Amino acid sequence: MKQRLTLADLASVFAELTGESKKASSDFLREFFALVASALEGGESVRIKGFGTFKLTEVDSRKSVNVATGAEMEIPGHRKVSFVPGRELADAVNEAFEMFEPVELSERVTDDMLDSTEEEEPEVEVEEQVAPTSAQEVLEEAFEEVKTESPEELNEEFDEAVEREEIRERNEAIEHAEDRIIEEEGIEEEVESPAEDEEISEESRPRRRFGWGFLVGFLTAAVVAVIAMVFFFDWRPWLALDKSPENIAFSDASIVNSDTLSVPVPTEIVKDSIAATAEDSLSVSGSKVVPTRPSDTVRYDTITKTRYLTTMSREYYGNYHFWPYIYEENKAILGHPDRIRPGTQVVVPELSKYGVDPKNPADVEKAKRKGTEIYSRYR
């Protein structure tokens, strides 16, 4: 606990300062406080220039509970007295900390970085009777590095921070970044002692900037690599296990024959309202050797850059919303519906197989839902 001084102690200090006798000093002080007290009693705040203000605050009554009995009780309205030090007094008290100024923070500083400065406190609240100056010395020592940094270096840090500010959003990787930075940049300004944690947190801010940059760079490169792989690798054939090699062969063949294929195929057998292909009823889909399908005639079509499942759906079924059924029929060889490789040959089934009718609005809804469901498989 701090040491408690009494009025007498205060009086002796006062006597020193003023050159008055101790007796006179203590009389004055006693008088002083008595006066303040009586003024306060009278309901008036007391403002003393160069010292401070003793002010009164009104508090309304409030409900509370008697802690002993648990019964409700009311705390009546009353006044409270408080003291606000004047400017000079406050500054004088704060002398030990005078060297500090508010520092503007970059956006990267988080609360846990700031916590490291808590350790300063014990040094300030000195328990023995130490002259004020030594407390100051200790503090000065502890904050020495920080102080020398102050305007210039912090400005640099701030500028760097501003530059990189756009890129960073996350806080979790700060520690990782710190580790990397320590490796990369050497230990020159590394310090162990806790009193200099603040220094670390301030100085390593620019280093954190570097770490961030590398991290983001690596991630971007990785993402780009993955995307490149997706585009350049054709992994469709690996999925065509069920449908067997024919489809692969057909894919190749159909690339060549795509034109001839797509035209003769749409022989309408079902209740479709396709107008375009009038002439094509002649050729039968059996022009290709194909694994046999139950009942309905097999229709093939090929995806191209301009010919999608929806295109086929519109042609064969009269409504593009029914593409999911073409998809389902061929799902073994298809991946993401928006990413079907041009040249992929698909079987266009009869809708009767799925029991849906393009003319039926309820079925249209059903088809749409199926489409959503297919997409959701790839979420």
Binders in 25-44 for other proteins, by CB under 8 A? 28-29, 31-33, 35-37, 39-41, 43-44
Of the candidate spans 13-21, 220-228, 236-244, 321-329, the one that interacts with other proteins by CB under 8 A turns out to be 13-21
Rounded least distance, CB 232 to other proteins, Å:
46
Give the H or E element holding residue 299: strand 299-302
- 227 scored as a contact of other proteins (CB under 8 A): no
Pick between residue 63 and residue 80 the one whose CB is nearest to other proteins. 80
Among 73, 75, 92, 239, binds other proteins (CB under 8 A): 92
Residues 6+ apart with CB under 8 A from 64: 72, 73, 74, 75
- 82 scored as a contact of other proteins (CB under 8 A): yes
Q: Report how far apart the first and last C-alpha atoms of the chain are (Å, whole number).
A: 63
- 163 scored as a contact of other proteins (CB under 8 A): no
Residue in the structure block whose two tokens are 């840090």: 157
- 169 scored as a contact of other proteins (CB under 8 A): no
Draw the binding track, 120-149, toward other proteins (x: CB under 8 A; -: no contact).
Answer: xx--xxxx-xxxx-xx--------------
Residue in the structure block whose two tokens are 């002259």: 131
Q: List b or e across 344-362, with b for residues whose CB sees 16 or more CB atoms inside 10 angstroms.
A: bbbbbbbbeebebbbeeee
Which residues, 270 to 299, sit near other proteins by CB under 8 A?
A: none
> Other C-beta atoms within 10 Å of 174: how many?
19
DSSP class per residue in 198-260:
HHHHHHHHHHHHHHHHHHHHHHHHHHHHHHHHHHH---HHHHTTTTHHHHHHHHHHHHHHHHH
CA 85 – CA 42 distance, rounded (Å): 21
Among 62, 63, 80, 170, binds other proteins (CB under 8 A): 80
Of the candidate spans 102-110, 173-181, 335-343, 353-361, the one that interacts with other proteins by CB under 8 A turns out to be 102-110
Draw the binding track, 106-125, toward other proteins (x: CB under 8 A; -: no contact).
Answer: -x-x-x--x--xx-xx--xx
Of the candidate spans 47-55, 219-227, 307-315, 331-339, the one that interacts with other proteins by CB under 8 A turns out to be 47-55
CA atoms within 13 A on the CB side of 329: 23
Write out the two tokens for 279.
């002439």
DSSP letter assigned to residue 98:
T
- 93 scored as a contact of other proteins (CB under 8 A): yes
- 50 scored as a contact of other proteins (CB under 8 A): yes
Pick between residue 159 and residue 179 the one whose CB is nearest to other proteins. 159
Residue count, binding to other proteins (CB under 8 A): 79
